[in-house]
Amino acid sequence: MIQSDMPANPYVLLTPGPLSTTPTVKEVMLRDWCTWDTEYNDIVQDIRRRLVELATVHHRAAYTSVLMQGSGTFCVEAALGTAIPADGKVLVVANGAYGERMATIAGRLRIPHGVLQSLTSPSCIAKPRRAYSIHWKRLRLLSEKAVAASLSMQ
């Protein structure tokens, strides 16, 4: 099937996930990719290498990236459940349901966490001036603590 044979999709799906797919992506998906094909593995390795380059500045050889297949929530749960050390803590900057879900996941994984509501969260929109003031006070405190912790680690 070529792109011109595909029906136009008049719907905009508002459910989570990449459900609305462009015709060009659908056309590429018509090809079967096998994990034992050299071309497929070259593409995957290039993506992994580029992600490490994007995420690191020094000692790139000491890092790798793992491509996760699943929903965004699945990937967040995988990252929180594996990347946070036993004595670690997480700060979730939440601007809605997705951030709140991250905090819920951290809680279920018994990871100590805090939630910082962003300026666009519903609770901040209801009382903007107060929320703005609280937001910047919290951010300043967090920044000062992060700088102090960073200096003490050097």
Q: Which two tokens stand for residue 53?
A: 């380059």
pLDDT digits (tens, 9 = 90+) for 111-154: 999 888 766 555 554 554 554 455 556 655 655 565 555 455 44
User: Alpha carbon 36 to chain centroid distance?
Assistant: 28
Q: Which two tokens stand for residue 152?
A: 């003490």
Domain ranges, ordered by start, for the chain: 71-153
pLDDT value for 127: 52
Q: Which two tokens stand for residue 105?
A: 């996941």
Contact 16, 36 (CB under 8 A): no
Question: What is the arithmetic mean of pLDDT over 54-68?
Answer: 89
pLDDT digits (tens, 9 = 90+) for 83-113: 888 888 888 888 888 889 999 999 999 999 9
Question: What is the arithmetic mean of pLDDT over 54-71?
Answer: 87
Give the residue, 4 or 95, on which the prediction is more confident: 95
Distance CA 135, CA 30 (A): 48
Question: What is the arithmetic mean of pLDDT over 50-62?
Answer: 90
Task: Kindly report the length of the chain.
Answer: 154
Distance CA 65, CA 51 (A): 7
Distance CA 111, CA 103 (A): 9
- Beta partners for residue 93, in sequence order: 116
pLDDT value for 63: 92
